[in-house]
């Protein structure tokens, strides 16, 4: 099973600052199958990035994804108030199909 | 508009059963893989099961294999999750989600979730 480890667990930043979130896989992951989601309190997850670096429909360009192999990064260039949330990475492989990272909470400093 | 609405959650005793439903609208349901993903209170996301568009192929997480069954009725635009032999650790919000077009395993439409509580 591929384990995804997200760091840091919590990121305390101010609006306007840059956020860099890490997702590290225990084995190499196809970039095609690395996905990022945002989850605000009380809401369902929202697709942000797929294929490691492609923004989903309607996602602002302050969100960007990068990485390959075992190391992937989600960057939020300038935090807006609505960006304070929990972020999850997800990967697909043949077995067991899908796993998620434990999440990174981006909180207001 | 494109929408998923889950129902069927509730309180059930350990060892009991529950059937969740997910009603889809606004898109051609049979064209899409569908999945169930759950989230225990205060915890992260855990994939549970997925079904191909036809329903002929299904996969399960090890934690639910042999106890949960995913199914779909494309004529009714509905996805189901039959949950048997429920355990306390199955307590979670259960989301259904649609895999977006393209073979990238990203889920672009999510329901609001339905809460399942397993407790005596």
Q: Cα angle vertex A38, ends B60, A104, to 5°?
A: 90
| CA nearest to A77, candidates A21, A9, A4, A6 | A21
Which residues fall within 8 angstroms of residue B35, CB to CB, at 6 or more apart?
A98, B47, B48, B49, B50, B51, B96, B97, B98, B99, B107
- The pairing of strands B10-12 and B114-118 is parallel
The three-class DSSP label of residue A41 is coil
pLDDT computed for residue A53 by the predictor: 97
Mutate to test the interface with B, among A98, A99, A102 (most CBs of B within 10 A): A98
A39 and A46 Cβ atoms separated by less than 8 Å: yes
**B63 in contact with chain A, both atoms CB, cutoff 8 A:** no
Quote the pLDDT of residue B100. 95
Q: Is B116 left (phi over 0), alpha (psi -120 to 50) or beta?
A: beta
Across-strand partners of B43? none
Residue keyed to tokens 């004529």: B75
A102 touches chain B (CB under 8 A): yes
Burial class (CB in 10 A: 0-12, 13-18, 19+), B89: exposed
Determine how many CB atoms are found less than 10 A away from the CB of residue A72.
Answer: 27
- Ranges of residues in chain B with a pLDDT under 50 are none
> Mean pLDDT for chain B?
97
pLDDT at residue A97 above 80?
Answer: no
A96·B61 Cβ contact <8 A: yes
Residues B32-49 have pLDDT tens digits of 999 999 999 999 999 999
Is the pLDDT score of A96 beyond 70? no
Q: Spell out which residues of chain B touch residue A39, defining contact as CB-CB under 8 Å.
A: 45
| A-chain residues near B46 (CB < 8 A) | 100
Q: How far apart are CA A32 and CA A28, in angstroms?
A: 12
């Amino acid at each position: 099973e591929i384990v995804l480890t997200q760091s840091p667990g919590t990121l305390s930043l101010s609006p306007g600052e840059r956020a860099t979130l890490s997702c590290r896989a225990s084995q190499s992951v196809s970039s095609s199958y690395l996905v990022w989601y945002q989850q605000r309190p009380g809401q369902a997850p929202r697709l942000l990035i797929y294929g490691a670096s492609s923004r989903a429909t309607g996602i602002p360009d302050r969100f960007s994804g990068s990485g390959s192999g075992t190391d992937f990064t989600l960057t939020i260039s300038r935090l807006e108030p609505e960006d304070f949330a929990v972020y999850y990475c997800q990967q697909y492989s043949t077995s067991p199909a899908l796993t998620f990272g434990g999440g990174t909470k981006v909180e207001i400093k | 508009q494109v929408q998923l609405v889950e129902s069927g959650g509730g309180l059930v005793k350990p060892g009991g059963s529950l059937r969740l439903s997910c009603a889809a609208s606004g898109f051609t349901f049979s064209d899409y893989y569908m999945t169930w993903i759950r989230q225990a209170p205060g915890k992260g996301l855990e994939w549970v099961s997925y079904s191909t568009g036809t329903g002929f192929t299904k996969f399960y997480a090890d934690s639910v294999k042999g106890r949960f069954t995913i199914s779909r009725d494309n004529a009714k635009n509905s996805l189901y999750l039959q949950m048997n032999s429920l355990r306390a650790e199955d307590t979670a919000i259960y989301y259904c989600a649609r895999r977006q077009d393209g073979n990238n395993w990203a889920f672009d439409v999510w329901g609001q979730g339905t809460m399942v509580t397993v407790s005596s």
